Amino acid sequence: MPDIRRTIANTALVLNATYEPLCVVSVRRATILILSAKAVCVADGEGILHSARSSLPIPSVVRLTRYVRVPYRTHVGMSRRAIFARDGWRCAYCHGSAETIDHVLPRSRGGRHSWDNVVAACARCNHTKGDRTPAELGWRLKIDGDLLRSDRRPHRSGDYGRPRRATSQI
């Protein structure tokens, strides 16, 4: 039979001194931050923590007393997921559903593995293209050319440029 008693949350949200969310920690860690005067409790959870000499409400949100500088990633590393997101999960050649990534200028011909040479492609177009360039096949990319410029690569998580738009047929 399932336990229907109300469970006490065992995590707490940690906010920076400017009330920006930083991370989620255990209630134990949040309590240690409060007792060591490194944080103050902003919101109490349900329940009370007892010790030999005192009792303390369970913290659910704590705010640090000093500001913590969080390092900012200036560039996102190139990954399959980032390429698919940049291209809208669509093939750069036929605008179908993308399954693979393709180098516009093949690596065997000196093409680099960089943001401005890699596009999302369906398996059929990738196999048909093989070791050739789109110009040799008479193909044109169906994505906005601005997306392939090196200055349009993502600069932080979730920023994958503008939505694509079709430019021409194969």
pLDDT at 146 over 80: no
Asked whether residue 151 carries a pLDDT value surpassing 70, the answer given is no
Domains detected in the chain: 11-64 (no CATH), 80-152 (1.10.30)
Check pLDDT > 80 for residue 52: yes
pLDDT digits (tens, 9 = 90+) for 91-101: 999 999 999 99
In three-state secondary structure terms, 102 is strand
User: Which pLDDT tens digit goes with each residue over 65-82?
Assistant: 999 998 887 777 888 998
Tokens, residue 121: 């492609």
Least confident among 7-11, 64-68, 82-86, 130-134: 7-11
Indicate if the pLDDT at residue 106 is higher than 60.
Answer: yes
pLDDT at 153: 57
The C-alpha angle 149, 153, 158, rounded to 5 degrees, equals 150
What letter would DSSP give residue 42?
A: E
pLDDT the model gives residue 169: 42
The torsion angles phi and psi of 86, rounded to 5 degrees, stand at: -60, -40
Q: Please, is 117 exposed, middle or buried when counting C-beta atoms within 10 Å of its C-beta (0-12, 13-18, 19+)? A: middle
Token representation of residue 112: 């680099």
Over 50: is that where the pLDDT of 4 sits? no
